[in-house]
C-alpha cells in the first residue's frame, strides 16, 4: 500500500521554483505532461495507463509520460517544484496538508471516490468490527500515523501504545494472529491470502465514515493558470481511460503496467480490478451521478471537518472543480 508525501518536505518554500512549471512541447508539437504516480505501476493506476495506451491523451494534444513512483517518491514535492506537471495524490490528507501549508498545488479530480485504505485482522482473533481492535497491536506506516490514525483514536478510543511500525512487509502480521495491519483493499488482502493460505478479515475505513478521496490528480497553480486546457484534457482523457480499464478491455493498460513493473502479475491486476468494481471505488459515490473523477464541496467539507484540527478554513484552497469532464464520463 502507499501512503506517502504527507510531510511535504518544505513545500512552503518552493514557490519560486514553480516558474519552471510551464509545460514544454512534447512529441509532434503536443504538450508534454509528466504524471508522477504514488507507487510502482499497479491496477490502482490502471485508468491512467489505459488512457496512455489507447491514445486518449494523444488525441487531446498531450504527450503524456507516466513517471513511476515508489516508497521514497514525494509526489506533491515533484509537482510543486515543477519536476513534473501533474501527480497522483494518494489520499485527502496530502491535499489538506498542501492547503494548510499554503503550497500552490491542488487536486483537480479524484478517480477513487473511496480511499482503499483497510485494516486487516486474523480470522481467529475475535475481531468482528474495528472497535474490537482496541488493545491489539496495530502495524502502521509512518505516514498513516499522521493520516487516519488520529481519526481512529478519536472515533474508537484507540491509544498510541497500540501502534507498531509497518515496513511494508506482511510477515509480522502473518506470524502473529493478535496483530492488526494496515493495507490497501486492492492489494494486501489478496497477497496475504496467497502467501499465508488464510483469508484475513478486511475492514474498509471508507465504509466506517472515513471520507478520503484517492487517486487524485494534483496540479500546480501555475499550470492551472497558464495552461488550463492541458489540465482539462488530462482529466477528461483519464476519465475515459478509467471507464475502459474497469468495464472494457484492460489489456492495453496491463501491458504497460507489467512493462514498468516486472514484479507485478496478471492475477494481482485482475483481482484489484474486481475489487474496484465490487466496492465502487472509482464509479460509486458522487461519480455515479457526476461522472468519473468527481469531487464536491460537500465531500471535501466532510473530510476537513474530521481531519483538520483547525477546521475547514483552507478547504477551498485544496481543490478545484473547474476541470471535471462536461459532459461527465460515467
| Count of alpha carbons within 13 angstroms of residue 250, beta-carbon side | 22
Listed residues 208, 223, 242: the one ending a domain: 208
pLDDT category, 27, cuts 50, 70, 90?
confident
Which of 175, 208, 241 delimits the end of a domain?
A: 208
Range of the domain at 140: 117-208
Q: Which residue has 490528480 as its cell numbers?
A: 217
| Residue 101 forms part of a structural domain | yes
Instruction: Give the total number of structural domains in the chain.
Output: 2
Examine the domain organization and report whether 272 and 166 are in the same domain: no
Is 329 a member of any domain?
no
Q: Considering the domain boundaries, does residue 325 fall inside one? A: no
Instruction: Give the count of beta carbons closer than 10 Å to the beta carbon of residue 58.
Output: 17
Both 91 and 126 in a single domain?
Answer: no
pLDDT per residue over 60-107, tens digit each?
999 999 999 988 899 999 999 999 999 999 999 999 989 989 999 999
Dihedral sign from CA coordinates of 78, 46, 234, 183: negative
Residue at 275 is within a domain: yes
Shared domain for 221 and 236, answered yes or no, is yes
Strand 180-184, strand 105-112: pairing: unpaired
Identify the CATH number of the domain in which residue 92 sits: 3.40.190.10
Verify that 89 and 221 share a domain, yes or no: yes
Per-residue pLDDT band at 20 (split at 50, 70, 90) = very low
Counted residue by residue, the chain has a size of: 330
Are 136 and 81 contained in the same domain?
Answer: no
Where does the pLDDT of residue 309 fall: very low under 50, low under 70, confident under 90, or very high at 90 and above?
low
| Predicted model pTM | 0.91
The arithmetic mean of pLDDT across residues 313-327, rounded, is: 88
Locate 16 and state its grid cell.
519560486
User: Could you tell me if 56 and 134 lie in one domain?
Assistant: no
Same domain, 187 and 132: yes
248, 99: one domain: yes
Name the 3-class secondary structure at 178: coil
Residue 109 pLDDT level (bands cut at 50, 70, 90): very high
> Does residue 122 share a domain with residue 84?
no
Q: Which of 209, 258, 237 is nearest to 325 (CA)?
A: 237
Do residues 16 and 105 both lie within one domain? Answer: yes
The answer to whether the beta carbons of residues 234 and 218 sit under 8 Å apart is: no
Q: Are residues 103 and 122 part of one domain? A: no
Say if residue 104 is in the same domain as residue 122: no
328 assigned to some structural domain: no
Q: Which of 174, 208, 242 is the last residue of a domain?
A: 208
Amino acid at each position: 500500500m502507499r501512503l506517502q508525501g504527507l510531510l511535504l518536505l518544505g513545500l512552503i518554500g518552493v514557490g519560486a521554483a514553480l516558474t519552471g512549471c510551464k509545460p514544454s512541447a512534447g512529441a509532434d508539437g503536443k504538450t508534454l505532461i509528466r504524471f508522477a504516480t504514488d507507487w510502482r505501476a499497479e491496477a490502482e493506476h490502471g485508468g491512467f495507463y489505459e488512457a496512455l495506451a489507447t491514445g486518449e491523451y494523444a488525441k487531446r494534444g498531450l504527450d503524456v509520460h507516466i513517471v513511476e513512483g515508489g516508497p521514497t517518491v514525494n509526489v506533491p514535492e515533484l509537482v510543486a517544484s515543477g519536476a513534473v506537471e501533474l501527480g497522483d495524490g494518494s489520499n485527502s490528507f496530502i491535499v489538506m496538508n498542501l492547503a494548510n501549508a499554503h503550497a500552490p498545488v491542488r487536486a483537480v479530480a479524484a478517480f477513487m471516490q473511496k480511499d482503499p485504505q483497510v485494516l486487516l485482522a486474523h480470522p481467529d482473533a475475535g475481531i468482528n468490527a474495528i472497535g474490537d481492535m482496541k488493545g491489539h497491536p496495530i502495524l502502521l506506516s509512518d505516514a498513516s500515523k499522521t493520516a487516519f490514525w488520529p481519526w481512529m483514536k478519536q472515533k474508537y478510543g484507540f491509544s498510541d501504545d497500540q501502534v507498531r511500525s509497518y515496513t511494508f512487509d506482511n510477515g509480522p502480521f502473518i506470524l502473529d494472529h493478535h496483530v492488526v495491519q494496515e493495507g490497501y483493499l486492492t492489494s494486501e488482502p489478496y497477497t496475504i491470502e496467497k502467501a499465508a493460505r488464510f483469508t484475513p478479515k478486511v475492514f474498509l475505513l471508507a465504509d466506517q465514515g472515513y471520507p478520503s478521496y484517492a487517486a487524485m490528480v494534483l496540479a500546480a497553480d501555475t499550470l492551472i493558470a497558464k495552461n488550463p486546457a492541458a489540465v482539462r484534457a488530462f482529466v477528461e482523457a483519464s476519465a475515459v481511460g478509467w471507464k475502459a480499464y474497469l468495464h472494457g478491455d484492460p489489456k492495453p493498460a496491463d501491458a504497460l503496467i507489467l512493462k514498468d513493473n516486472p514484479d507485478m502479475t496478471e492475477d494481482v491486476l485482475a483481482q484489484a480490478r474486481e475489487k474496484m468494481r465490487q466496492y465502487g471505488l472509482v464509479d460509486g459515490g458522487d461519480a455515479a451521478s457526476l461522472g468519473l473523477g468527481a469531487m464536491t464541496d460537500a465531500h471535501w467539507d466532510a473530510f476537513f471537518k474530521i481531519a483538520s484540527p483547525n477546521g475547514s478554513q483552507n478547504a477551498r484552497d485544496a481543490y478545484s472543480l473547474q476541470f471535471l469532464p462536461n459532459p461527465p464520463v460515467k
